[in-house]
Amino acid sequence: MKIAAVSYLNTAPLIQGLDAWNDATILRAVPSQIATMILNNQADIGLASIIDYAHASTHQDPLVLIPAGMIGCDGPTLTVKLISSVPINQITTVHADTDSHTSIALCDLILQKQHTIKATFINHDFRNPQTPSTPPQTLLVIGDKVVTNTPSPKLYPHQIDLGQAWHNLTSLPFVYATWMCKHSAITNPESRVNIIAAAHVLERTMLKNQTRIDWIIANCATPAGWPTDLAKEYLGQLLRFKVDNRAKQAVQTFLTMTADLNITPQVHPNWLDLSQTPTLA
């Protein structure tokens, strides 16, 4: 079983311990690459962006959502921020982190719905930034770099935490990513058994890691430059990892709203039923 996942701190509660799984190979990638890896058979299961699920709905073999764990929030996210040197109502262009397609779509939605702004989004690679003559006025920054390498608030005093903005708009949590696989993998009886069994391993891993957040912080957050107290608040209070009914409602609401804004095609979330409990074939 090939499992594709992200190496941000926020994925540690989902993937820590999986390297010891003898029946799986863990592949590291940024969020924006994982859906393509699944569609191209480079991965059997991946922790992929919700917006990529919507775009893959037009594929001949679309994706299926697996409710074995997610990256979400129910209020502020901390690591998904729009920062601007000009007031929000003056934003026209957003230089957007290329790591996450879902964050770009969420930012577009929030600007349109809450601020009646239809901004232009320009890809901005924070890993290999080109030094412009003047810094971009507005940036969408995601991941650990928001904490460890974000531009100074003095340069960008106007900020929106997009998780909080979504909660203010809908009173729902927000789901950035969840485990996914190809539809054909669950229609084939043999591979379906393996996918469901793997999903149960992923869910058990997530539940176990909830009980050892302090260990994860010591081994993952501190070496990455996160202050211990902030990492504890982030992983222990702000983020959500379990897919419940409110999370599923949030995914449906987000995809409906992005379709209404012509950001994505219209698609209904197709969740894998994990009520079966087979063992790995």
The pTM (predicted TM-score) of the whole model is: 0.92
- Which CATH number applies to 80-170? 3.40.190.10
Determine how many CB atoms are found less than 10 A away from the CB of residue 28. Answer: 12
Taking Cα atoms as reference points, which of 84, 87, 121, 90 lies closest to residue 103? 121
Listed ranges 34-48, 96-110, 117-131; the one with the highest mean pLDDT: 34-48
pLDDT tens track for 191-213: 999 999 999 999 999 999 999 99
Say if residue 263's pLDDT is above 50.
Answer: yes
| CA distances from residue 183 to 156, 186, 209, 270 in whole angstroms, order as listed | 43, 6, 28, 9
**Greatest Cα pair distance in the chain:** 58
- Which tens digits make up the pLDDT trace of 118-141? 999 998 877 665 555 578 899 998
For all residues of the chain together, what is the average pLDDT?
Answer: 91
SS (H, E, C) the chain: CEEEECCCHHHHHHHCCHHHCCCCEEEECCHHHHHHHHHCCCCCEEEEEHHHHHHHHHCCCCEEEEEEEEEEECCCCCCEEEEECCCHHHCCEEEEECCCHHHHHHHHHHHHHHHCCCCEEEEECCCCCCCCCCCCCEEEEECCHHHHCCCCCCCCCEEEEHHHHHHHHHCCCEEEEEEEEEHHHHHCHHHHHHHHHHHHHHHHHHHHHHHHHHHHHHHHHCCCCCCHHHHHHHHHHHEECCCCHHHHHHHHHHHHHHHHCCCCCCCCCCECCCCCCCCCC
pLDDT band for position 81 (50/70/90)? very high
Domain map (residue ranges) of the chain: 2-72+174-260, 80-170
Contact 82, 139 (CB under 8 A): yes
171 phi-psi bin (left φ>0, alpha ψ -120 to 50, beta other): left
**Token pair recorded at residue 119:** 């901004």
Please write the tens of the pLDDT for every residue from 204-246: 999 999 999 999 999 988 888 899 999 999 999 999 999 999 9
Amino acid identity, position 90: Q
Distance between CA 49 and CA 33 in Å, rounded?
Answer: 9
Class in CATH terms, 2-72+174-260: alpha beta
Res. 281: pLDDT tops 60:
no
